[in-house]
């Protein structure tokens, strides 16, 4: 399962866990308003099932990320790990009625461009020696 399919599935799972965590956190926070540092506020936060969705999302993202780092090149992996910004933005529009302006659209395009640049710049790895292949062989 190593290869493109491994990375595709892995980063989709990572994005799903990160998105779950962010949306759950936002939902739990919205239901725990007003914000105040008090035992009552903590009770409202931890009384929401969404806060536990955030915990599941963060734990799932951590283990998925650690698994991906064993196999993926670090540059593109780090960039692709930020794809949840796009999914959270899109789902926040749908679920919470958030608005998206040109700065958010430009930011999303820059994230995608950065991932593309890092993925294209990765050098192939020579499997037997584990060293990067020379460009002028």
pLDDT tens for residues 90-128?
Answer: 999 999 999 999 999 999 999 889 888 877 776 655 444
Burial of 124 from C-beta contacts in 10 A (0-12 / 13-18 / 19+): exposed
Instruction: Return the half-sphere exposure (C-beta side, CA atoms, 13 A cut-off) of residue 59.
Output: 6
The pTM of the full predicted model, rounded to 2 decimals, is 0.77
pLDDT for residue 133: 46
Task: Note down pLDDT in tens along the chain; length 137 residues.
Answer: 457 788 888 889 999 999 999 999 999 988 888 888 889 888 988 998 999 999 999 999 999 999 988 888 777 778 778 888 899 999 999 999 999 999 999 999 998 898 888 777 766 554 444 444 444 44
* Beta strand extents in the chain (DSSP E only): none
Total Cβ atoms within 10 A of residue 113: 11
| Alpha-carbon span 75 to 50, nearest angstrom | 32
């Amino acid at each position: 399962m190593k290869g493109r399919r491994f990375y595709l599935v892995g980063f989709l799972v990572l994005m799903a866990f990160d998105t779950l965590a962010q949306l759950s956190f936002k939902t739990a926070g919205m239901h725990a308003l007003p914000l105040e540092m008090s035992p009552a506020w903590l009770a409202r936060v931890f009384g929401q099932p969404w806060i536990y969705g955030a915990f599941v999302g963060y734990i799932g993202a951590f283990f998925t990320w650690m698994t991906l780092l064993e196999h993926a090149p670090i540059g593109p992996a780090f960039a692709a790990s930020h794809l949840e910004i796009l999914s959270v933005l899109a789902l926040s529009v749908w679920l919470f009625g958030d608005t998206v302006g040109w700065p958010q659209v430009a930011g999303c395009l820059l994230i995608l461009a950065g991932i593309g640049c890092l993925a294209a710049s990765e050098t192939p790895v020579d499997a037997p020696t584990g060293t990067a292949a020379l460009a002028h062989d």
